[in-house]
Amino acid sequence: MRPTRRDLLKNTTLAGLGASLAAMTGCTPARSADAAATTAIKTAGGITLPAGLGVTRPRPAGQKPVHDLTTKPVEKVRIALIGCGNRGPGLMRDCFGIPFAEITAVCDVRTDRAEAMAERIVKAGRPKPAVISGTEKSWESLCERDDVDVVYVATPWNWHAPMAIRAMERGKHAFVEVAAVVTMEDCWRIVDTSERTQRHCVMLENCCYGENELFVLSLARQGVLGELTHAECAYIHDLREQLYGRQGDDGWRREFHKQYDGNLYPTHGLGPVAQYLGINRGDQFAFVVSMSSPEKGLSAWRDKTGGPHANDKYVCGDMNTALIKTALGRTIMLQHDVISPRPYSRINALSGTGGTFFDYPARLALNDPTAHGLEAKNSHGWLNDKDLATMREKFTHPLWKKLQDQAKNAGHGGMDFVMNWRHLDCIRQGITPDSVVYDAASWSSIIELSSWSVENGSMPITVPDFTRGIWKTMPPLGVVS
């Protein structure tokens, strides 16, 4: 009989995993299972689930919501980086071109990487930041510094929660790489810490700031797509080489394929879609149903490459498909496949009574194209290139128009620069970022919730309301400039 996810979480040598990850980033791994799972409950159908899995927890006394949190404006946003490996340098490179950002400290357990990051900053014409490295707890002292406003966390997923929490507890805002956290328990921990400390915990979901994603958000907010009904999104990316450590430290991601059979990386596709639909702002994830294909591809790659991983056993299906129902009755299809040999796609689709957008490649169909002065006469075909260009001219998001020249050479087609500029500008102005800790938690919660659904026969699993009711009165994210 195939072991369940609960068995794997018990039997996997988490201490060994924690030690290997600590060697990379110098932090303490978060708990690998929801604390509420210590007391299991059975549903009417006899299915065993952890107690409180989809339950919305009451707000502890003394905590205040952060959906509209404003903070004191600053002239310069002083930032520090934990994790100078693959992702960290790209994040800092994007900050080189932001005049109101100052990099004051960098940290990595490996001194050579931290020093190399500092030298890149100097070569970019910026003052050399403090270099903090050398021990598994070096990152803790970074959070204590009084010359830091924002801590960037670019480390393996297990450590996002402890690092973000310590940063907020020390009065800093936390900017956390995706996914923000892995477990449901850590979803609640970052929510409660952000509310208790009144510090932002922002997930660095760069895909929300892609040219096409901002274009679709503009179409949606200006009513072009009518009443929104359905969305589709994904993370489809052949990562087999990366999972086997082609880029050095990325082998840690493979460990999650041993523990979870679900959607391991939901937010690149789900984040933009959630913003289109106003999730946590007028609508809410209600429940998720998830199913996985067999696990075949990663085992085949293991057998082909051999080496020290010959005995690895994987449980995560090659393709996971999750369906999310929202409180307003709308539907979302979400997929994850990092194993199959197929081209990259996030799907990025949105349908409404007025039109439909699909990406990869970008296509738009409108219910009444003539209303926009287009050549097309009906919705039976995608707009031609000329008509699509006309719609882009009319509805390209003003934030993209403003920053596209500066973003030309930035990562991921410019979206990285736009994301960093926008988040840091919100801190500079003291205004609420476009996404807050409730978004980081709800988008990330799909990792564990999808795996519980798979394990229990694709049973619907309730998604907690991390806003604790605030979503009902919050307006959707507007078209900000």
Q: What is the pLDDT of residue 79?
A: 98
Q: What are the structural domain ranges in the chain?
A: 208-397+435-472
Q: What is the spatial distance between Cα 169 and Cα 156, in angstroms, rounded to a whole number?
A: 21
Q: What is the pLDDT of residue 130?
A: 98
For residue 349, what are the β-bridge partners? 232
Q: What is the pLDDT of residue 6?
A: 41
In 12-85, DSSP assigns E strands to: 40-42, 48-50, 77-82
Q: What is the pLDDT of residue 18?
A: 34
Q: What is the pLDDT of residue 417?
A: 97
HSE (side-chain half, CA atoms, 13 Å) at 279: 34
CA distance to 64, 215, 362, 395, 477, per residue, from 392 (Å) = 40, 7, 11, 5, 20
Q: What is the pLDDT of residue 179?
A: 98
Residue at 372: amino acid letter? H
Q: Judge contact between 422 and 477, C-beta under 8 A.
A: no
Number of helices (H), then strands (E), in the chain: 17, 16
Q: What is the spatial distance between Cα 463 and Cα 432, in angstroms, rounded to a whole number?
A: 24
What fold, for 208-397+435-472? Dihydrodipicolinate Reductase; domain 2 (3.30.360)
Q: What is the pLDDT of residue 45?
A: 52
Q: What is the pLDDT of residue 246?
A: 55
Per-residue pLDDT tens, the chain, 481 aa: give them: 333 444 433 333 233 333 333 333 333 333 233 434 444 555 545 566 787 888 999 999 999 999 999 999 999 999 999 999 989 999 999 999 999 999 999 999 999 999 999 999 999 999 999 999 988 899 999 999 999 999 999 999 999 999 999 999 999 999 999 999 999 999 999 999 999 999 999 999 999 999 999 999 999 999 999 999 999 999 999 999 888 865 455 689 999 999 999 999 999 999 999 999 999 999 999 999 999 999 999 999 999 987 778 889 999 999 999 999 999 999 999 999 999 999 999 999 999 999 999 999 999 999 999 999 999 888 899 999 999 999 999 999 999 999 999 999 899 999 999 999 999 999 999 999 999 999 999 999 999 999 999 999 999 999 999 999 999 999 999 998 8
Q: What is the spatial distance between Cα 342 and Cα 225, in angstroms, rounded to a whole number?
A: 30
Q: What is the pLDDT of residue 47?
A: 63
